[in-house]
Structure formats: C-alpha cells, structure tokens
Chain A
Amino acid sequence: MVDDPQQPHTDDVARAIRAAIDPPSPAATERIAQRIAAGANTVRAGSTPARHRGWTGRAALRPLVATGVVAIAIGIALLAPGEDGAKRGGGALLQLGPDAAAADVLHTAGAAAGGASWTPLKAGQFFATRRTEIVDDRIRVVTRTWTARDGSQYERSTQSPVLVPKGTEFWVPVVECGPSAVAERALAKPGDVVASLATAACANEPITGGFVTTSTTASDIRDVPPAGAFVELVPWTLAVDVSARALRYGVEVRERAGAQLVSPDVRGERGVIESAEFSTIELPLATRWARRVSEPEIVVDQDVESSPDAGPIVENTTGPRWNDVFTVADLAALPTDPARLAERLRVESGTTTDAAAIQLAVGLLTEAPLAPKVGAATFDALALFTKRGEAASVDRNTTLPDGSPAVAVSFQLEYPKRLEYLARDDDAYRLLFEPRTATLRAVVTRFDGEDVVTEWAAPRRVARIPSRV
C-alpha cells in the first residue's frame, strides 16, 4: 500500500463531500481493472510514452482557459454589418429558387460574409461584442471584450446580473473602470447597455487591473457627486413583445458628474426582480477596485458566470481560447479553404462525426472574431457537412426576433451519449438569415423544448485602446 505522500489536508467539508460520493463498487472496480488490462496491452504494443506533453498532459489536451461563462454557448456574430451586405447582396437569398437546399443558402451566406471589410485585431485594440439572449420570458445581455496588448491577450465577459423578465422596464448601467472604458464609451450608441465610470484614480489602473460593476435604476441618482468622478448612465428600457420575441432599447443617454448610486435589490437566478426594495450603496472608490497585478495569470473560475463584483479580466500567455479550442491567433490562422476548415473543425471538435463539427462551426459564427474569408469558409464548411449527409432543412417562411422575414437553416442537435435521455426530436440549431443580405442575424437553439434565441445588435467593432483612461 502506498502511503499518503503528503501531510493530509483533512477537514470536515472535504470529509462530508467524500462521504457523499460512493467509491466504485467491487463490480465496478473489476470492470475498471479489465479495461485497464485491455488498454495497457495496447499501450505497451503501440504508442509512444509521453503522449501528453507537459504536466498532466495539459499542453496536449488544451485546457479550458476561457474566462468564462459557461452560459456563453452562443454569442455575438462578428459578421459584416447588415448595410454592407445589403450593398453586395441585392436580395441574395431571395434569388435562390424555392427549392434551394440548405447548402445553397449557406454558400450564399458565405459569399456575403466573405466580402465584409475587416481589420484584424492588433495590439492596443479591442474587440467588443454584445449580444442578447432570450430564454423563454427572460433576457440576458452579454458583453464580451477581447483585447491584445504587449503580447498578451485579454478577454473579458460580463453578463447582465439578472435575467430580466420581458416587458419590464429596467435600467442596467454597468459602472466600470478599465483600460478600454473610454474607448468603449466612444463606441457606445443609444441602445447599448454599457456605461462607464472613471475617476482620476482610474487613470492609474494598469491594464491588468480589475473593474467594478454595479447596477442602479434610472431615478436613483442622488446627492452631490464626489469630485473627479462621473457617471454615465445608459437607460436601458426593455420593451418586449413576448409573442414576437422582439426586444427594443431605450435611447436616452445622460451623464452627470458623479453620483451616489442606489441599487435595486435584484435577486434571484430566475430573473425575479423584487420591486421597491432599494438600498443605498456607495460609489465605488478606486481604492476598492481589484487589482490583480500580482497574479495576472489567474483564470477566474473557468465556467462561472461573471458577477458584478467579480468580473474577470484574464491574461494568459497561451491566450484565452475561444470556446476552449482556439486562441485569437488560431482563429486568425484558420484555413479559408472550406474542405480544410471542415477537417480542422472535425478534428478540433474531438469526435469523428460531422455533427460535432457543426456545433463548433455554429459557435464560431456566433461567437468568434473571424476574418471574413474564414467566416465565408465556415458557411461553406457547413454546406459541405450537409452534402456529406448531415440533415439540414430550410425554412423560407420564418421571422427574425424582430418580426422581419428570415430564411432559416436548421441542424439537428446531436447528443453525447450521456445526455441522450434528454434528447427530443425537435432539438436543433436554427440559423436565421436576413434574406436580402444573406447575413446571419440570429441563432435559435431549441433544447429540451425551449428556445434560446441569440441575436446581436452590434456588428464587429474594433477600436484603439487609449493610452490613458
């Protein structure tokens, strides 16, 4: 028997957790033994040692490095803005015949995406994306920012702190201090959700500094502001038509020189906003802002949502990996040949089936900063998958979340074995294209009978980070 090689770190919590999980039964242990015996023979016969590079094989197995938000399953499209597509497309999908196959729609979308203008992400620039998710009667807004600077990459994700019931008027200004705050504000337009706060001390925040978020309601600006601070509030009014799944923003932007913020007592994971329970909070001071200079490599919980007081900025020399697969550099270097890209996606998806690669491709289209030619190849790769036998259907008579006409291409969702019991026949991804421009405008994930609609208001945005905030 091998002794415990270290001083045990025994505590009651660990003991309780250990007690809650059964060890393998004798029968299970026997099955494990058999499998090891069978596999060990194979190992001896064929493979080289050190199949995994590095400690625990992490280098080979590609760890999750995302800042992550496990809930970011589907995200912002970084495709060409609709206007650009309109100039080129000229009724792109409408020109396809009524019996056009999914591959035709996808090829057309690829051609439209491939012509978009594009500025690659460079050091000192950031890439901001915002998207909304509509789940049943709740809405979540996700902001994602990528930056590259000094040879490192940073990614930041925030989510609206609550799932907001549709039809509710609610203001979600996000107060933040960070290297990109001013630039983000410069990009902000009516309807955006992000507001910024900066004080004089904020100018001294390093690039790796944290940021502070809080929320308030529109009517709660009170008292004389502290000197040197200003608050920009973007009133965010949700006017939602549940039946049409339409979402509209308010347009008013106000700015004041500082404020005492009063936060609504917003609680509940299911989007319950308890009304009329306001409490006063203090304006965040720079001295309270998190600075993580000493541990810049920390990856805040891989799969945990950002919370208002724990929004992660991640720095990692290997780079945050989009969806646990690609770094920004990887994304920039993806093949533009559809067949090669399809193969790459199949390999990277970790399985041998095209269905898994389709999930990856849809994720790329909805979340990742893709060069137009790669975006085009991704659509073409999807078309290739449909030609190789993956079921896809076209629906020409559907609508976008705002009610305007759309053409949809649907893929059946394939389940891993352990989730098969959840499978329903109607589970699918639905890619919604604007017919005139052939631009991907929304993705609907139907899962377990519930639609998760992802749409994006803002196209790709690149701006320079100011040298000083």
Chain B
Amino acid sequence: MATPVVHTTRVAGDVGSGDLALIHAAGRGDVPAQERLWRTHVDAVYRVCATQLASHDAEDAAADTFLAAFASWATFDASRGTARSWLLGIAANQMRLRWRRDRRLTATLERIRGSRSRSSDHVPFDDRVIARADARSVRVALDQLSASDRLVLVSQAAGDLGPDELAAVLGCTSGAAKVRLHRARMRLAAVLAPERSSGGDSHHGG
C-alpha cells in the first residue's frame, strides 16, 4: 500500500503518482488533501452535474461525488486515468443513479418533447457551428439533448479530456468514447443549426 504522502507538484513522467498520493491521503481523512482535491476539480465536476440537475441538486451531487471519491479512494488506479477522469467518472455514476431513478419519467418527457435528433454515424457535420455559437445558445441547445449526450459533451469539455480519459469516465472503450462524442457533437450541431437537420422545425409543439 502506498504511503499517503501528499505530493502535489507534478513533473512529466510522474503523471499518476501525484494524483494517487493525493487521493489516498484524502481517502484517509487528510483534510488539506481533501480540500486540495475538491477545489482543483470542483468546477469540472459541478459543470457536469449542473447540466443534468437543478442548481441546488447539482451542488449536492457535486459534493456527493467528492464524498464518494473519498470513500472509494482504493479504487483509483493511476494507470487507468487521472484524478480528473476518475472524479468525472464518479460524477457520471452519480448522474446515472439519478437517471435510473427517474428513467421512466424522463424517458416519457423526452419522448413527448420529441427533442431528439436522429442521425447516422457517418454524416459529416460542421462542428464550427458549435465553436461559433454564443454561450447562451450552446447552453440552450445542450438542454435539448438527451441526458446521455449532455454527459458525454460536458464531461469531455469540462475536464478537457482526451479519448482515453473520456473512455474512463464513460466506462467504455476509447473507440466507443470517440463515437459517442462524435455523435453527441453532431446532435448538438444539428440543434444549433436546425436548417441542417432538414424537415423543418423538429422541436415544435413540445
């Protein structure tokens, strides 16, 4: 078992061990380590929660994410990802737990809203539509996507994750993570540029 010494300075080639030590220390109740851990990552974790939940629920879920992390520090495996992807994975599970409880209702809600856009894997799309959109439009568009798409998009963006890290968050292979990110971005772009999705306004009457 690693000695829980807190090292927070990281150099190249020492990617995982700083995280490992910090997480172990936090898990063993080292309050400064806990605070360092959550203050470093609270923005990303909160962003993921905030796009799935009402704001006060998001705060709770963000806090619960860190508490779950402190309680399950032994599961952190530095060879499989970073503290950030590990924490976002726990946050994703917090969201999944809530989806599971709400699944039937939200399913009905989303179906009735008819907000989903349906497209193929291989359709080219212009992601500059997203990059050029103003923040408000992007926020509104995110809310029109499925919870799953939001999770993929926001986890990746909030954590600035590469494919391997995103895969660790989502619990799938790197290839699957890429596919899911691509599809989610495609759907986001379609919402932001409805003329591209053709067939008129697909969100009317919701």
Contacts and interface: CB of A to CB of B under 8 A. Distances in A.
Contact of B160 (A9, A64, A413, A418): A9
A172 B58 CA distance: 43
B162 A51 contact: no
A134 to B, nearest CB: 12
Nearest to A53: B75
A56 B87 CA distance: 8
A8 B160 contact: yes
A301 B112 contact: no
A15 B131 contact: yes
A264 to B, nearest CB: 12
B70 A43 contact: yes
A50 B72 contact: yes
B100 A20 contact: no
A33 B67 CA distance: 11
A359 B179 CA distance: 32
Contacts of A12: 127-128, 130-131
A323 B106 CA distance: 13
Contact of A18 (B47, B120, B163, B202): B47
Nearest to B34: A40
A419 B108 CA distance: 12
A422 B82 CA distance: 39
A55 B77 contact: yes
B43 A49 contact: no
Interface string A280-303: 000000000000000101111111
Nearest to B78: A5
Contacts of B99: 64, 303, 324
B121 interface: yes
A416 B204 CA distance: 26
A466 interface: no
Interface string A223-254: 00000000000000000000000000000000
Interface in B17-73: 18-19, 22, 27, 29, 31, 34-36, 38, 40, 42-43, 46-47, 50-51, 53-55, 57, 59-60, 62-64, 66-68, 70-73
**What 3 A-B pairs have minimum CB-CB distances, sorted nearest first?**
A267-B199, A56-B89, A73-B107
Interface of B: 8-10, 15-16, 18-19, 22, 27, 29, 31, 34-36, 38, 40, 42-43, 46-47, 50-51, 53-55, 57, 59-60, 62-64, 66-68, 70-75, 77, 80, 82-84, 86, 89-90, 92-93, 96-112, 114-121, 127-128, 130-133, 135-136, 138-139, 142, 146-149, 153-154, 156-158, 160-163, 165, 168-169, 171-173, 175-176, 179-180, 183-185, 188, 198-200, 202-205
29 contacts: A2-B40, A2-B83, A5-B83, A8-B160, A12-B131, A14-B156, A17-B157, A20-B138, A21-B139, A39-B64, A47-B71, A49-B74, A52-B68, A55-B80, A70-B148, A71-B107, A72-B107, A73-B111, A135-B111, A269-B116, A298-B172, A299-B176, A307-B120, A351-B101, A359-B104, A417-B57, A419-B102, A445-B108, A447-B112
Interface of A: 1-10, 12-24, 28-29, 31-33, 35-36, 39-40, 43-44, 47, 49-58, 61-64, 70-74, 135, 161, 163, 267-270, 272, 274, 295, 297-305, 307, 309-310, 323-325, 349-351, 356, 359, 363, 413, 415-419, 422, 445, 447-448, 450, 452
